[in-house]
């Protein structure tokens, strides 16, 4: 079973690489893109447990609102500017003049949204607790 898991991960890595290449193609066929997107969503649903699906539905409206707030407050730009050292939620609160507790809660939601392609990823030690880094995808977008 472990070999099949590794094979699936390898295939998904290859599919991601190909998708990035195809996204750059100016002559991309919209019907093809839609079909690939639908199949990707179907694969996601197949791999998710029912509880994973419920949590995803629960967080969807919150994620957009929190991402918009993080952009408007300048938190995502601050994350990118901080680079590999990361930045604490307390520092983000100071920069934006926002309540520290609110910033901490909102950044936790963004960090929890899989795979943090939305905005941030928690940093493990040596950073202080509550320190986050921008995800690779977020750095590319901001």
User: What is the per-residue pLDDT across 56-97, written as a single tens digit (0 to 9) for each?
Assistant: 777 778 878 888 898 899 998 898 888 878 888 899 999 999
Q: 36: exposed, middle or buried (C-beta count within 10 Å: 0-12, 13-18, 19+)?
A: middle
As a whole-number percent, the residues of the chain with pLDDT over 70 amount to: 79
What is the predicted pLDDT for the residue at 91?
Answer: 92
pLDDT of 123: 47
pTM of the model as a whole: 0.50
- Say whether pLDDT at 127 is over 90: no
Confidence of residue 124 (pLDDT cuts 50, 70, 90): very low
Instruction: Report, as an integer, the average pLDDT of 22-41.
Output: 85
Residue 100, pLDDT score: 93
């Amino acid at each position: 079973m472990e070999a099949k898991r590794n094979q699936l991960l390898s295939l998904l890595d290859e599919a991601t690489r190909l998708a990035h290449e195809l996204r750059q193609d100016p002559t991309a066929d919209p019907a093809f893109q839609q079909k690939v997107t639908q199949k990707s969503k179907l694969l996601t649903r197949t791999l998710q447990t029912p509880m994973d699906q419920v949590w995803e539905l629960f967080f969807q409206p919150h994620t957009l609102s929190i991402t918009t707030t993080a952009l408007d407050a300048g938190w995502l730009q601050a994350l990118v500017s901080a680079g590999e050292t990361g930045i604490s939620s307390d520092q983000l609160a100071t920069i934006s003049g926002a309540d520290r507790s609110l910033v901490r809660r909102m950044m936790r939601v963004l960090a929890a949204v899989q795979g943090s392609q939305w905005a941030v990823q928690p940093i493990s030690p040596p950073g202080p607790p509550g320190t986050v880094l921008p995800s690779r995808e977020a750095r590319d977008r901001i």
